[in-house]
Amino acid sequence: MRNREVAAILVKIADMMQIKGDNPYKIRAYRKAAESIFHLDEDIAILYGKGRVREVPGIGDAVAAKIGEILKTGSCEYYDRLSEEIPAGLLDMLAIPGLGHKRVKLIYDTLGITTLDELMQACQRGEIRNLPGLGVRIEDNIKKGIIEVKQRSNKTRLGTALPLAQGFLNYLLQSPAVIEAAITGSIRRGKEMVGDIDILLTGNDPAAVYDLVRVFPAVRQIDWVDSDLIRGELSPGIEFEIIIVAPSDFFHSLVWTTGSKEHRERLFAGVDRQDFKDLKSETEVYTRLGMDYIAPELRENQGEIEAASVGRLPELIDFSDIRGDLHVHSNWSDGVEQIRDMAAAARSLGYKYIAITDHSKSLNISGGLSAERLQAQGKVIDALNKEATDGFRILKGIEVDILKNGELDFPDSVLEELDIVIASVHSNFKLDADEQTERIIAVAKNEHVDMIGHLTGRLLSRRSGYEIDIDKIIETCARYNTALEINAHPDRLDINGDIARQAKEHGVKVAINSDAHRINQLKLMKYGVITARRGWLEADDVLNTLSSDDLLKALGKAP
DNA sequence: GCCGTTTTCGGCCCGACTGTTTTCAGTCG
């Protein structure tokens, strides 16, 4: 059982306790334990086996015992007892914006509603608006929310799907029954949300491949078995397809299955794929079609075929081009680790610098820094930089809140002392497009603001971005030399590839930032790089491919 | 339920916004 599944059960326990109205601190303890397990680098089962699960922060005797039960039986008695009391459908309702534990309980207690479908019917009959504290507006929002929740439930974030696919692939490649295999489809193209996991495989014995797939621990069920296809579901509820081809067909099939549909249909229009047998690489496929190799991230039929035909494809940025991370939190605000430890981790990734960019004072919940604490933090960073003998540099920064009126949370006199200023929206998501755009444009014009953080504010599969006029903002950024962030967290990937490409076309620089709040999130950078590649970006388009001296120069600061 | 350079009990991030009310509960970040 994977860490995220144990964490998911603990979160459900917390949700059910909250619906019941249990002790808030007890609930928080379960959430904290779940969070710790979710972010754990080690396998919780192995840790438990070694008797070291109590070392995980937030896990005490009570939760440790439940984890033991869950690892053994897939559930625990406490969870089962709560489940009998609280219908599972109530937990689905919590995903609807505007519905929290109290309202879900109210709806359940008064109307006996236990599923999203029943809730929708009650909304349509106008029953929700009559409940105390609710009204027509909330009823409308619930209706919209139900539709959204249902729509997004069949897609998975790349950040979840890619590691699963990689684990599955590695497992398959270990077997002598598999000659060659590769992740294909939309995951390979680096789409931020994917429908399923596709693996292209070649081997001489389909029955042996089936046996292999059947016993992979994460396989929950198998729905279809053929000599050239195995389809089923992995245990977090994501579908997979293993497409089996003859060795001579591997590379043209890899191009075909990677897609996109529009890309491959144009690529192979009027040609017979049988003429593409026995090639040694995808490059040979493209060569035979009379064009340069096209990276998977570009295969969306958005001009890449034309560019490849005349040798004008961009030389896409690669992870090895990244020299530093410009958006990193520490335990001075809502990060988990100390600055020293974040820096050490960044060093071990081969980076030459990081910027510590904690939250500013308005973001109370995240422990936002006052001007005084920011200054104290700067002294700590100075001391750490003095210690460093390898030239690694910690830059002083801030993720400063953009206030409702378009002002910043700190005056210019504070910002001008810093190396990196990221301005981000964390409040007032529901302003209309004009106001929201003006608010961001106002800070993009500020000479001390180096970049706008997570521009649209979207949280994939949870919240759509705020209403903004992207064109106007990009124009402003171009004029005032303000960069845009690709926030590499798989929940955000914001800006996305399309906006990144638009930024590049207007000469707006991009920074690819992990937004790490703990050490192991530094490695999420790769999702940002994938997104940048989908935006046709080259190393020159990205600020954090520069050395720290050149970076500061580019931002108009003394190195 | 967890935790302790406050150590075995008593504390545990809180303020703003929304939509409902007419003084505030619930939700959210």
Instruction: Please report, rounded to a whole number, the percentage of residues in chain A having pLDDT higher than 90.
Output: 89
Give a yes or no: residue A369 inside a domain: yes
How do residues A521-552 score in pLDDT, each as one tens digit?
999 999 999 999 999 999 999 999 999 999 99
pLDDT value at position A174? 96
Q: How many domains are there within chain A?
A: 3
Residues A139 and A184 both lie in one domain = no
**Domain end (from A152, A178, A201):** A152
**Closest nucleotide to the alpha carbon of A431, via C1':** B17
Give a yes or no: residue A312 inside a domain: no
Residues A144 and A166 both lie in one domain = no
Instruction: Please report, rounded to a whole number, the percentage of residues in chain A having pLDDT higher than 70.
Output: 100
Which stretch of DSSP H or E encloses residue A120? Answer: helix A116-124
Q: Kindly tell me if the per-residue pLDDT of A556 is higher than 80.
A: yes
Per DSSP bridges, beta strands A420-424 and A483-487 are unpaired
Using the CB atom, is residue A23 less than 7 Å from strand B? yes
Q: Which of residues 98-117 of A touch strand B (CB under 7 A)?
A: 98-104, 106
Residues A122 and A264 both lie in one domain = no
Using the CB atom, is residue A366 less than 7 Å from strand B? yes
A64 band by pLDDT with thresholds 50, 70 and 90? very high
Residues A169 and A209 both lie in one domain = yes
pLDDT value at position A4? 87
Using the CB atom, is residue A52 less than 7 Å from strand B? no
Give a yes or no: residue A99 inside a domain: yes
User: What domain range includes position A285?
Assistant: 156-289
Residues A99 and A167 both lie in one domain = no
How do residues A106-119 score in pLDDT, each as one tens digit?
999 999 999 999 99
Per DSSP bridges, beta strands A238-245 and A229-234 are antiparallel
Which stretch of DSSP H or E encloses residue A231? Answer: strand A229-234
Using the CB atom, is residue A59 less than 7 Å from strand B? yes
Burial class (CB in 10 A: 0-12, 13-18, 19+), A308: buried
Q: Kindly tell me if the per-residue pLDDT of A465 is higher than 90.
A: no
Using the CB atom, is residue A378 less than 7 Å from strand B? no
C1' of B21 to CA of A225 (Å): 60
Average pLDDT value for residue range A83-94:
94
Residues A202 and A117 both lie in one domain = no
C1' of B3 to CA of A3 (Å): 23
Using the CB atom, is residue A33 less than 7 Å from strand B? yes
Give a yes or no: residue A297 inside a domain: no
Residues A188 and A139 both lie in one domain = no
Q: Which of residues 325-354 of A touch strand B (CB under 7 A)?
A: 334
Burial class (CB in 10 A: 0-12, 13-18, 19+), A296: buried
Average pLDDT value for residue range A218-242:
94
Average pLDDT value for residue range A451-477:
93
Using the CB atom, is residue A26 less than 7 Å from strand B? yes
Average pLDDT value for residue range A366-383:
92
Residues A247 and A353 both lie in one domain = no
C1' of B27 to CA of A539 (Å): 42
Using the CB atom, is residue A364 less than 7 Å from strand B? yes
Average of per-residue pLDDT values in chain A: 94
pLDDT value at position A58? 93
C1' of B26 to CA of A520 (Å): 34
Give a yes or no: residue A377 inside a domain: yes
**Closest nucleotide to the alpha carbon of A145, via C1':** B27
Q: Kindly tell me if the per-residue pLDDT of A452 is higher than 90.
A: yes
C1' of B1 to CA of A418 (Å): 41
Residues A144 and A164 both lie in one domain = no
C1' of B10 to CA of A123 (Å): 45
Q: Kindly tell me if the per-residue pLDDT of A141 is higher than 60.
A: yes
Residue in the structure block whose two tokens are 């910027």: A355
Q: Kindly tell me if the per-residue pLDDT of A558 is higher than 80.
A: no
Give a yes or no: residue A303 inside a domain: no
How do residues A158-202 score in pLDDT, each as one tens digit?
999 999 999 999 999 999 999 999 999 999 999 999 999 999 999
**What does the alpha-carbon distance between residue A300 and residue A349 come to, in Å, rounded to a whole number?**
31
Using the CB atom, is residue A454 less than 7 Å from strand B? no
**Top-confidence range, A26-30, A236-240, A458-462:** A26-30
Query: CA torsion A384→A389→A392→A396, rounded to 10°?
Result: 30
Q: Kindly tell me if the per-residue pLDDT of A67 is higher than 70.
A: yes
Give a yes or no: residue A306 inside a domain: no
Q: Kindly tell me if the per-residue pLDDT of A307 is higher than 80.
A: yes
pLDDT value at position A494? 94
C1' of B21 to CA of A102 (Å): 17
C1' of B15 to CA of A368 (Å): 12
**Domain end (from A130, A152, A174):** A152
**What does the alpha-carbon distance between residue A467 and residue A437 come to, in Å, rounded to a whole number?**
8
C1' of B1 to CA of A30 (Å): 7
How do residues A407-430 score in pLDDT, each as one tens digit?
999 999 999 999 999 999 998 888
Which residues lie below 8 Å from residue A153, measured CB to CB, with a gap of 6+? none
Residues A445 and A511 both lie in one domain = yes
Residue with smallest Cα–C1' gap to B13: A365
A1 band by pLDDT with thresholds 50, 70 and 90? low
**Domain end (from A119, A135, A152):** A152
pLDDT value at position A154? 81
Q: Any bridge partners for residue A194, and if so which?
A: A156
pLDDT value at position A152? 81
pLDDT value at position A466? 87
A206 band by pLDDT with thresholds 50, 70 and 90? confident
Domain containing A526 — which CATH number? 3.20.20.140
**Closest nucleotide to the alpha carbon of A17, via C1':** B1
Q: Kindly tell me if the per-residue pLDDT of A151 is higher than 90.
A: no
Amino acid at A403: L
pLDDT value at position A559? 67
**What does the alpha-carbon distance between residue A297 and residue A288 come to, in Å, rounded to a whole number?**
20
C1' of B29 to CA of A427 (Å): 8
Average pLDDT value for residue range A442-454:
96
pLDDT value at position A95? 92
Residues A511 and A399 both lie in one domain = yes
pLDDT value at position A204? 84
Average pLDDT value for residue range A65-69:
96
- The two tokens of residue A355 are 């910027």
Contact A353, A392 (CB under 8 A): yes
Give the residue from A222, A166, A175, A170 showing the smallest Cα distance to A197.
Answer: A166
pLDDT value at position A533? 98
Using the CB atom, is residue A68 less than 7 Å from strand B? no
Looking at the whole model, is its pTM more than 0.85?
Answer: yes
Residues A386 and A533 both lie in one domain = yes
Residue with smallest Cα–C1' gap to B17: A428
**Strand B: which bases are under 7 Å from protein Cβ?**
1-3, 11-21, 25-29
pLDDT value at position A374? 93
Using the CB atom, is residue A432 less than 7 Å from strand B? no
Domain containing A84 — which CATH number? 1.10.150.110
Query: DSSP code of A196?
Result: E
C1' of B26 to CA of A95 (Å): 15
**Closest nucleotide to the alpha carbon of A60, via C1':** B2
Using the CB atom, is residue A361 less than 7 Å from strand B? no
The sign of the dihedral angle between the CA atoms of A458, A8, A223, A93 is negative
Average pLDDT value for residue range A100-108:
94
Residue in the structure block whose two tokens are 């144009």: A266
